[in-house]
A and B are shown apart, each in its own frame.
Chain A
Amino acid sequence: MKVIIIGAGVVGHTIAKRLSSEAQDVVIIEKDAKRIKEISESLDVKLIHGSGSNPKVLMDAGVEHSDIVIAVTDSDEVNMIACLIAGSQSRVPKKIARIREPDYASYTQIFEKDYLDLDFNINPEKAAAERIMRIIEVPGALDVVEFADASVKLVGIKLTPTCGAVGQKLKDLKELHPDHRVIIVAIYRGSDTIIPNGGTVLEAGDLVFAVTVPAEIPNLIKLLGRKEETGNKIMLVGGGDIGFYLAQWLEKRGFSVKVIERNEARALFLADKLTKAIVLRGDGTDQNLLMEENVMDIDTFIAVTNDEEANILSSLLAKRLGASRCISLIDKPEYLSMVSTIGIDVGVSPRLASVSGILQFVRKGKILTVTQLMEERVEAIETVAMETAEIVSRPLKEIKFPQGALIGAVVRENGDVIIPEGETQIQPGDKVIIFTLANTVSKIEKMLMVKPEYF
């Protein structure tokens, strides 16, 4: 498969790295010569110097033989024009553009066949805001990932010492609550990552990942013992695009929202557009302001300014002043890996959000999505069970699954979600969501009869 990536920023670079490591042919078009030199030293890809919206450059990149064009420069307009021109030069099967400006998103017809003919457009800010929304919706959750069109949810919750489930074996928990459609698929304990079995004992401080259906989330919270009542008090620092998306959504969902914004003109804009939220002009790292606005009663503190250091600082400050949970916008991969060490509950990266969005789309084939959890040590693979696969048409308990892997959910073709038990049988055509340690992935792929080449 041949992929053309236009724009070698962080997103372009990350996608190129992932795809080239999966043995795809990647061509990068970048107009900054210095950046080209940097990348040529680290990646095994073809590099072309020039503008992605230039027809000649696109021809040079071999657009007529390419399978995918991914336009991820900083400019929405360049991305759109590049896809338009690529489409005019050859029938590129898939075109993806990053488009940030929210106003474009409200006129979706321009993305359709007669105009830009985009197969997929991603807005990193919106993707990040959506991830934060999913987390806010589940009180106490530190991460929420959706599978199979949101019919299956993976929720990460940290166990407190007062939690009733602490000290119990998983199979005992299952016997206590036989009706609950919940399965624990991964546990993050200190620096260890565990794919649990029935005998695993839960400990205080564990970050537990559990799969469930949306309707069972209240039971899940009860089970894992977080006593968040309603959790509807939100403080939001930074009223940029992400903050504004979030504030509007939170208002609509009936959350009580306070927005802190430093820029006066932007604060006035927010105050004008938001009807219920309280808009405060000030700095998220101003302790007096946070105290004045009762940060100790806040259920979720969200820092989404453009300044990631300030986001980290204000989140830590809020946490120390008593906010129950904090979410920070962090884009630097170095910082992201430090998040849990320094005490921030959730770090959200718009760039990574768009990378995983694009990769999920690129990989659409037999394996529907691959999601990395816990700093890439666990992978969640969403796939369609093939008739010839080993796992099909017999009870799960009879299948010899490799250590460090388990099935989290099965989605039937009619949309029914099954949280699997020993007697469950997978049928051909079912979507299966498998959780596995990164080093077990190849064994799983063999079982699924899916070749590493996904297309």
Chain B
Amino acid sequence: MRVKVILYLLGAFCIFLGLSMLFPAALAFAYRETETAAIPIFLSAILTLGIGGALFLAFRGQRVEISHREGFAITAMTWMTAGLFGALPYLFSGALPHFADAYFESMSGFTTTGASVFTSVENLPHGILFWRSLTHWIGGMGIILLSIAILPLLGVGGMQLYKAEATGVGVSSDKLAPRLIEVVKLFGLVYILITVAGIIALIWAGMGPFDAVIHAFGTVATGGFSNKNISVEYYHSPLIEFILIVFMFIAATNFALHANILRSGPKIYWRNPEFRFYLGLQLLAIILVAINLRFSIYDSITSSIRYASFQVVSINTCTGFSSIDFAKWPSFSQLILVVLMLIGGSTGSTTGAIKCLRIMILLKQGYKELRHLIHPHAIMPIRLGRRTVPPEVVTGAIGFTFLYIVIFTLASLMMAFMGLDIVSAISSVATTMGGVGPGLGIVGPLSNYSEIPYIGKWLLILCMLLGRLEIYTLLILFTPIFWKG
């Protein structure tokens, strides 16, 4: 482990972060929020740039080829550093005077969770609101880039799954382009195109330009920060809700499919087994929730379907916008939402949680065990579309899901120990690990995380990071073997 290399790369990252803070600072100047936002954000930018520049200059001249072990350390530390410097604008502006609150908000942004400690966001300066959403956008992009650059080093779970499925139409080519940098550029382009399309669509549907940018960032990154206290419900517009449903769905689809559409045409989506599962899961959940709502709280089938579809897509894609206070929904619908929080969207997207592909593999493995009882000598490989999933990928998926459930259980127990009721304890952990945002009970869509004790906030910050880094990358830093020879 070469500390100097790590510090050098972190320095480079801080310079990037500092530069990105100049945008909200400039915006704040334009909105004449000099005292409340522009100067504090500018100071944050200067400080971040200064520290980053100092590290960068002090440790330059290193060999930059990193070992896969250093890769893990850099990935985990980059996120923690992002959380740290990203908290500065909240602290300096006085929007969140307490460090834990500021770090929570910042980490929630970068991990594209969208959980907030602000009791009201509507009276915040535009500069701060924009920074909040920009952390989403940067974090969402970072996931795509990191999932390509870092996860292959792991050899387990995520990337192999991703590799197997991303390009997976039966062709054996592993990459979209021969060079990794070309793949990264392609994904970045797709990400930017979806964002621009989202902004245009929302303005067309009647949103103000600032609101449109905030919601587009929150959607494409599957984050969920809004600049309204009651989130999307504020607009009372079925058209806006529909546009957001479409974009949330696109954002939680494997980006490799989007990138491939130019080459293979739209049929590539339908040929992808994970996509079919992801679509089917959401349709099923929408039908169940809509039926439940129709016979409990809404009299019309149209509003049942409208609210059910928005909330199901928002929760399953791990975005976390709300178009209605679903904490008031019957428990059947709420429970479906919690299950969707645990499942999440597709691999290779900005979504969080366990992800559809792993759930599919687990279900197939379960069915295989059943069939094995009838045909004890049969060899039954697990198949996704026309591909056979290698056994180590299946074991990886089982291991990941098990760890996910263990951490979920332990963290829920700890939240309950801190005095949260059972619904709030479970849903707060499920929602932060999945990167969703709102939970149920005291962390419901119209509430926020300000009531959670500080120790609980730190725990939830850890949950966000674990969920975002797919557990292994972070957990591996806590194993003794990682630090030994």
Binding site for B on A (CB under 8 A): 267-268, 270-272, 275, 278-282, 289, 292-293
Contact = CB atoms under 8 A, between A and B. Distances in A.
Contacts of B388: 271-272
Contacts of A271: 379-381, 388
B379 A268 contact: yes
A280 B377 contact: yes
B378 A279 contact: yes
Nearest to B386: A275
Contacts of B178: none
Interface residues of B, number: 10
A293 B378 CA distance: 10
Contacts of B381: 268, 271-272
B378 A280 contact: yes
Interface in B371-409: 375-381, 383, 386, 388
Contacts of B376: 292
A278 B372 CA distance: 11
B383 A280 contact: no
In the A-B complex, the 10 residue pairs with the smallest Cβ-Cβ separation, listed nearest first, are A271-B379, A280-B377, A272-B388, A279-B379, A282-B377, A271-B381, A267-B379, A280-B378, A278-B378, A281-B379
B376 to A, nearest CB: 7
B383 A281 contact: no
B405 to A, nearest CB: 30
A278 B379 CA distance: 7
A259 B121 CA distance: 65
22 contacts: A267-B379, A268-B379, A270-B379, A271-B380, A271-B381, A271-B388, A272-B381, A275-B383, A278-B375, A278-B378, A278-B380, A279-B380, A280-B375, A280-B377, A280-B378, A280-B379, A281-B377, A281-B378, A281-B379, A289-B377, A292-B377, A293-B375
Interface in B345-389: 375-381, 383, 386, 388
Nearest to A283: B377
A108 B380 CA distance: 34
A267 B376 CA distance: 14
Nearest to A267: B379
Contacts of B383: 275
A279 B386 CA distance: 16
A343 B334 CA distance: 67
B153 to A, nearest CB: 27
A244 to B, nearest CB: 14
Contacts of A270: 379
Contacts of A281: 377-379
B30 to A, nearest CB: 60
A292 B381 CA distance: 20
Nearest to A260: B377
Contacts of B379: 267-268, 270-271, 279-281
Interface string B99-143: 000000000000000000000000000000000000000000000
Given A270-B379, A271-B388, A292-B377, 8 more contacts: A268-B381, A271-B380, A278-B375, A280-B375, A280-B379, A281-B379, A282-B377, A292-B375
A292 B374 CA distance: 8
A144 B237 CA distance: 71
A275 B383 CA distance: 9
A283 to B, nearest CB: 10
Contacts of A289: 377
Nearest to A277: B378
A249 B379 CA distance: 20
A344 B388 CA distance: 37
Contacts of B377: 280-282, 289, 292-293
A393 to B, nearest CB: 58
A279 B380 CA distance: 7
Point out which of B375, B380, B383, B386 has the most chain A C-beta atoms below 10 A from its C-beta: B375
Contacts of A282: 377
A395 B377 CA distance: 62
Point out which of B378, B381, B383 has the most chain A C-beta atoms below 10 A from its C-beta: B378
Contacts of A293: 375, 377
Nearest to A273: B388
A271 B381 CA distance: 6
A293 B380 CA distance: 15
A385 B376 CA distance: 59
B361 to A, nearest CB: 16
Point out which of B375, B377, B388 has the most chain A C-beta atoms below 10 A from its C-beta: B377
A280 B380 CA distance: 9
Nearest to A279: B379
A234 to B, nearest CB: 15
A268 B386 CA distance: 15
A278 to B, nearest CB: 5
A267 B375 CA distance: 14
Contacts of A275: 383, 386
A275 B375 CA distance: 16
A118 B388 CA distance: 38
B247 to A, nearest CB: 36
B377 to A, nearest CB: 4
B44 to A, nearest CB: 55
Nearest to B371: A278
Point out which of B379, B380, B381, B383 has the most chain A C-beta atoms below 10 A from its C-beta: B379
A347 B108 CA distance: 72
Contacts of A280: 375, 377-379
B172 to A, nearest CB: 13
A270 B388 CA distance: 11
A346 B380 CA distance: 31
Contacts of A279: 378-380
Contacts of A272: 381, 388
A267 B378 CA distance: 9
Nearest to B376: A292
Contacts of A268: 379, 381
A147 to B, nearest CB: 39
A317 B383 CA distance: 33
Contacts of A267: 379
A271 B371 CA distance: 14
A268 to B, nearest CB: 6
A280 B376 CA distance: 8
A325 to B, nearest CB: 23
Contacts of B378: 278-281
A281 B380 CA distance: 10
